Structure 1
């Protein structure tokens, strides 16, 4: 059985979880925080989550784990059938990860954990996220999923990133920094009908509520 280490508050963790659910693979979730302790670094060299353990072999980085799942469980593929289609889905997923989520992480960590923000962090995040959303918009090919007929890595990234950043920015900034994503509301409604996505969204909300309750104790 695959062991999935991490926490439901991490968009990267939820990417792997959705992929596992879509593949119908048995897995065990093990609540784990990022750490620089030796024991964790032996499994995730940068001390990050998520990481997985399969038969005693560990691997980290959500995009790498998703690619491994494609190789290990080729049925219920999460990439389009053609080379160009697969490249399209991978590129859109990377844009969402690197140019939408990544620049917003300082704000996300501040909202969750109270991590300090550098001067101009909000304006910088707004500008960079807007640029990332514009780049993602250029690549969208709804049909009905982000890259055409096939639910793919691109949809998984969108499902994990857009709602998390919308919730954070509305609470922290009083605005939704993901609002410019083309046809976002109808697309999110479509994603919500996907069992894997709906489960992850529900469990993320439960984890967030429990986390906020502990903070108030």
Structure 2
């Protein structure tokens, strides 16, 4: 059976988990926050999530895992067949990752430590996020799905990117980021109400106390600088 390694508070873990559930692929979960050499043998740079296939191969990097699942389990496809349309889906995912999620992610340590982020960090995050928002306004259709009439991996990917943007970026920047893209909030609400998303959210909430304890311990050992 496939094994998904990671923890339920990770948005990237939840992207892969959503794909597994959407495609009705049997899998088991292995809870891990970090590890030593045994973990690096599965995830070479120690990133969450990682996947072990039925025949014992290991993969990390969320898009790599999702592409493997799409090609190995073609039922309930999450990419269009047309190469150009598929590239369009991947473009939306990459823009969301680099220009929405990443600037918010760089503020996570300040959010958890309670220390104010330096103004330069806030300014940089706002600048990069603005670039992403400009692109997303051009790329997203929300009719009803993010790229048009059909559900794609971009819907799953951006929904979980938005979880970090909402919980970290918007709060740190005091800015309703998702409201900047017409249709984004309504679409995001619809994604959140799906049965798969509700199952994943329940698991995330159950993991939250252990995850916060792990983060507190990590920050105690790796102090976040103040202003």
Q: TM-score, normalization: structure 2?
A: 0.84
Aligned to 1:94: 94
Q: TM-score, normalization: structure 1?
A: 0.88
Aligned to 1:81: 81
Aligned to 1:48: 47
What does the per-residue CA deviation read over 1:39-92, in whole Å, with 9 as the maximum and x for residues that have no partner? 111111111110001122100000000000011100100112322221111111
Q: For the structure 1 residues 42 and 205, does the alpha-carbon distance in structure 2 shift closer, same or farther, using more than 3 Å as the test?
A: same
1:177: Cα distance to partner?
A: 3.1
Aligned to 1:61: 61
Q: Which has the higher contact order (CA 8 A, sep 6+)?
A: 2
Aligned to 2:25: 25
Which structure is larger by alpha-carbon Rg, 1 or 2? Answer: 2
Q: Which runs of 5+ in 1 are unaligned?
A: none
Q: For the structure 1 residues 116 and 68, does the alpha-carbon distance in structure 2 shift closer, same or farther, using more than 3 Å as the test?
A: farther
Q: Which moved more, 1:83-92 or 1:207-216?
A: 207-216
Q: Distance in 2 between matches of 1:43 and 1:213?
A: 24
1:27: Cα distance to partner?
A: 1.0
How many equivalent residue pairs?
Answer: 216
1:114: Cα distance to partner?
A: 6.3
Q: Distance in 1 between matches of 2:162 and 2:34?
A: 22
Q: For the structure 1 residues 100 and 214, does the alpha-carbon distance in structure 2 shift closer, same or farther, using more than 3 Å as the test?
A: closer
Q: Which runs of 5+ in 2 are unaligned?
A: 218-227
Q: For the structure 1 residues 117 and 171, does the alpha-carbon distance in structure 2 shift closer, same or farther, using more than 3 Å as the test?
A: closer
Aligned to 1:149: 149
Name the SS of the counterpart of 2:189 in structure 1.
Answer: helix
